[in-house]
Amino acid sequence: MIYVKEAKYKGDYKIWCRFNNGENGIVDLEGELWGPVFEPLKDKERFKNFKISDVLHTIAWENGADLAPEFLYEHLQK
C-alpha cells in the first residue's frame, strides 16, 4: 500500500511528494482540479494550504478535498 509521507507546496499547482517506498517528485495538479470539491482549490491560496491526513495518508484540504495516494504516485514527475 502506497501512501504520502511528506509533501511541500512548490508553486502554482505543484506539490512535491515523498512516498513510503522512498520515491519522490513533483505532482502537477493544475489539470486535475475539476468538480465541486476541487473548484475552490483553483484559488492558489487555498490550494497551498493542504496537510497530510493521518487517516487517509495523503494530502487533504480543509474543504474535504483529497486525492488518493495512488493517483498522486501515478502522476509523479521524477
Spatial separation of the C-alpha atoms in residues 72 and 75, rounded to whole Å: 5
User: Structurally, how many domains does the chain consist of?
Assistant: 1
* Global confidence as pTM: 0.94
pLDDT per residue over 25-44, tens digit each?
999 999 999 999 999 999 99
Coil vs helix vs strand at 31:
helix
pLDDT for 11 equals: 97
Residue 52 β-bridge partners: 59
CATH of the domain at 58: 3.30.2020.10
Q: Could you tell me which residues come within 8 angstroms of residue 19 by beta carbon, excluding any fewer than 6 positions away?
A: 2, 3, 4, 5, 69, 73, 76
Domain that holds residue 39: 4-77
pLDDT for 17 equals: 98
- Residue that has been written with the C-alpha cell 506539490 in this structure: 15
Could you tell me where the beta strands, DSSP code E, fall in 22-62?
Answer: 24-28, 50-52, 59-61
Tell me what the pLDDT averaged over the chain comes to: 96
pLDDT for 78 equals: 67
